[in-house]
Chain A
Amino acid sequence: MALERIWVFGEAGADGGVATITLEILAKARTMADSVEVFCGSDGEGCAATLGDHGVTAVYATGPLDGALQGVSVASAVAAAIDSGAVAAPDAFMLGTTYDGRDVAARLSVKLDVPVLSNVVDLRLDGDQIAGVEPVFGGATNVTSRFTGDGPGIWLVRPKSFEPSPTGGPPAEVKALAVPDVGAAGGAVVRDRFAEESEGPKLDEAAVVVSGGRGLGGKDAYAMIERLARALGAAPGASRAIVDAGWVPYSYQVGQTGKVVKPTVYIACGISGATQHLVGMKGSKNIIAINKDSEAPIFSIADLGIVGDVHKVLPKLIEALEAR
């Protein structure tokens, strides 16, 4: 039995179009409800065609928000629209586990006084209820949850849980979502915005990721990881251990409290494979591990392994790759 209506939070991607995470959630939501609509804190006209192409019938848009926190404005606008009866509450809200998605979900949860289930990696219909699967304790345990109360639940879905699938539908109808007075929550005002300069592919989008761990022995040895990454057009990554040690910035961290990556090839160099790290990369299609300890846990999930000292293996591998 399908639900009537699901609302999905629409996010903008880096290129200004609709973010991949939004398209991923739309693909799943469509299989669970008769109609899927989008709500967003931006201009609706620009994304109506793409959203329609992914099965969305209507997009509720606040228009550009200038200096306000998107979460504050969008959550207040959605709550006001529902409370005033202007829009009927959907059966569920779904958002991506992203910077803005999390913030919007948390504030929406407060404004509508409904709970949130976060970090969901799978969703299914259990009769007329949604059940979500969420890994907890760093992926060591899975929890299946559903909401028992009245009103819509809010689901935060992890990126790369579903595949986008266009339907070729007509452009979504654009509807206005008015932002009311947001009270004390509006006390945060943007003063500045800046982009981080980065070379090469982004860690969570790269087809190949080369990560280094404690086995490198020291900060200087990380240069080998960067060189190997350059030779492969890959993004360099790191385990939490060497981020904590200050060898590389936190933005390199792959794992539970870092980035979740699912590249075609993941090369783990001198990484023992703590659960905290495995959670962030176990979805990679091909995992290659280089570690001198043949008993290291990384070998329990790697497809291919080299038992050897990274200091000896990596220079040879870089040499072999640069020669081709």
Chain B
Amino acid sequence: MLRILCCVKRVPAPGARINVTADGLAVDAAHLGFTTSPHEECGVEEAVQIAERCGGEVTVLTLGPPEAAEQLRYAASVGAHRGVLVPADGGARDPQRTAAILAEAIRRLESADGAGPFDLIVFGNESADSGGFQVGVRTAYGLGRPIVNGVKGIEIDGPAVRVRREIDGGFEVYEMEMPAAVGVKEGINLPRYPTMKGRLASKRLEIEILDLDAPLGGQTMVRLRRPAETVSETAILGHGPEAAPAVADVLESLGVL
């Protein structure tokens, strides 16, 4: 039976209007929706699909505030079996610390039940808020496992895993012996919607809490600032199909025809 671990991050809902706190160092969460980072949503789906295909168990791990339990329940509602929360305040923009804590958490989970290493650790390629591309690679190096990033396809082949890595204008196929890690990209699959049965299962999920601490990394934030909203004047060329010739004229004057 394959043991798959998927790491997820609770992030502000992409596209939401985000306000900065008065001291300019954090996001004002008072009126904000949160979600699982999109690449990781695909990571959970991929882990569940692999488990369904090859037989296996999916554990989802997150680092964050108590509310991040919501993201674990979401994962359970689409098929994950276990949810582990490592309580952590702040540090959201410190990938060195995040990776150190994750690596330690994974070591504990692997030694706790004597089951040995997770065969495959699935990360999202990057998070939707800070987009650091760091945590997966750092955690994998910390655990001494190979990792391929930018993954758009995963195939389990006996003790090996074959992954399709997106490159400019094509794909490369890499093979790794498990245990191994991958950073998956949005587009690898279409995440399913939770079923009613899934929602009920997620309510019953017992969130496992793992308390850890790890040293700070070397990155600090100077300040957060909302960019000036650029509102341009839109010249309305017209209404409905009658406006088509005017658009053609514009395209011609711009020299793109």
Contact = CB atoms under 8 A, between A and B. Distances in A.
Interface string B15-30: 1111010000001000
A194 B168 CA distance: 11
Contacts of B27: 137, 141
Contacts of A98: 168
B184 to A, nearest CB: 12
Given A193-B170, A193-B173, A264 B256 contact: yes
A32 B234 CA distance: 38
Contacts of A189: 174-176
Given A207-B256, A274-B15, A324-B257, A317 B128 contact: no
- Which one of B96, B128, B150, B248 has the highest number of Cβ atoms from chain A below 10 Å of its Cβ? B248
Interface in B207-257: 217-227, 230-245, 247-248, 250-252, 254-257
Interface in A262-296: 264-265, 274-276, 282, 286-289, 294
A208 interface: yes
A183 B167 CA distance: 24
B129 to A, nearest CB: 6
B148 interface: yes
B130 A136 contact: yes
Interface of A is mostly: mixed
B104 interface: no
Interface in B41-61: none
Given A105-B133, A243-B187, A304-B234, A317 B247 contact: yes
B14 A141 contact: no
Interface in B142-195: 144-150, 162, 165-177, 180, 186-187, 190
Interface in A130-144: 131, 135-144
A113 B100 CA distance: 12
Given A143-B224, A299-B234, A308-B240, A137 B172 contact: no
Contact of B138 (A109, A140, A317, A319): A109
Interface residues of A, number: 98
Contacts of A233: 256
Given A14-B169, A98-B168, A109-B138, A316 B244 contact: yes
Contacts of B244: 313, 316-317, 319-320
A147 B218 contact: yes
B247 A288 contact: yes
A254 to B, nearest CB: 13
Contacts of B9: none
A270 to B, nearest CB: 14
A118 B224 contact: no
A302 B234 contact: yes
A115 B39 CA distance: 22
B79 interface: no
Interface residues of B, number: 86
Contacts of B236: 294, 304-307
Contacts of A253: 187
Interface string B59-75: 00000000000000000
A301 to B, nearest CB: 6
B137 A107 contact: yes
B174 A307 contact: no
Interface string A72-114: 0000000000000000000000000011101101110110011
B248 A317 contact: yes
B38 interface: yes
B12 interface: yes
B201 to A, nearest CB: 24
Contacts of A321: 248, 251, 257
Contacts of A107: 137, 141
A301 B140 CA distance: 42
Nearest to A137: B18
A303 B232 contact: yes
Contacts of B256: 207-208, 232-234, 264-265
B161 to A, nearest CB: 10
A196 interface: yes
- Which one of A99, A139, A143, A188 has the highest number of Cβ atoms from chain B below 10 Å of its Cβ? A188
12 contacts: A98-B168, A99-B168, A102-B133, A106-B137, A110-B141, A118-B131, A184-B144, A191-B175, A194-B171, A275-B15, A307-B238, A313-B241
> Which 7 pairs between the two chains have the least Cβ-Cβ distance?
A250-B187, A187-B146, A149-B218, A316-B244, A106-B137, A192-B173, A195-B170
Interface of A: 14, 69, 71, 98-100, 102-103, 105-107, 109-110, 113-119, 131, 135-149, 156, 183-196, 198, 202, 207-208, 232-234, 243-244, 246, 249-251, 253, 256-257, 264-265, 274-276, 282, 286-289, 294, 299-309, 312-313, 315-317, 319-321, 324
